[in-house]
Amino acid sequence: MNQLPLVSVIIPTYNREKYLLQALNSVANQTYTNLEIIVVDDGSDINYAEKICEKIKNCKYYYKRNGGLSSARNYGVSKAKGEYIAFLDDDDYWRVDKLQIQVAVLNKKSSIDLVHSAAEVVDEKGLRVGKVIGAAQNKVNKRSGYVFWNALGVWVVKSPTPLIRKSVFKPDLLFDETIKVGEDIDFYQRLFYRHKVYYINKPLAFYREHAAIGRLSTQQEKYIGIEKKMYANFLKMGVYNVILKKRIAFKLLKSDLDRWNKIYPNNKRKYNLIKQLFLASKLLN
Q: How far is CA 55 from CA 44, 85, 217, in A?
A: 19, 22, 29
- Domains, the chain, with CATH or none: 7-213 (3.90.550.10), 221-281 (no CATH)
Residue 70's closest CA among 91, 94, 89, 56?
A: 89
What is the distance between the alpha carbons of residues 185 and 198, in angstroms, rounded to a whole number?
18
Displacement of CA 110 from its chain's centroid (Å)? 21
CA 252 to chain centre: 18
pLDDT, position 212: 61
Give the separation between CA 18 and CA 40, rounded to whole angstroms.
16
pLDDT for residue 112: 98
Q: Are 54 and 160 in contact (CB under 8 A)?
A: no
Amino acid at 131: K
* pLDDT reported for residue 224: 86
Mean pLDDT by 10 residues, the chain (285 residues): 86 97 98 98 98 97 97 98 98 98 98 98 95 95 97 96 98 96 96 98 96 58 89 95 92 88 84 53 51
Per residue in 11-53, pLDDT (tens digit) is 999 999 999 999 999 999 999 999 999 999 999 999 999 999 9
Burial level of 140, CB count in 10 A (0-12/13-18/19+)?
Answer: middle
CA 158 – CA 161 distance, rounded (Å):
6
pTM of the model: 0.91
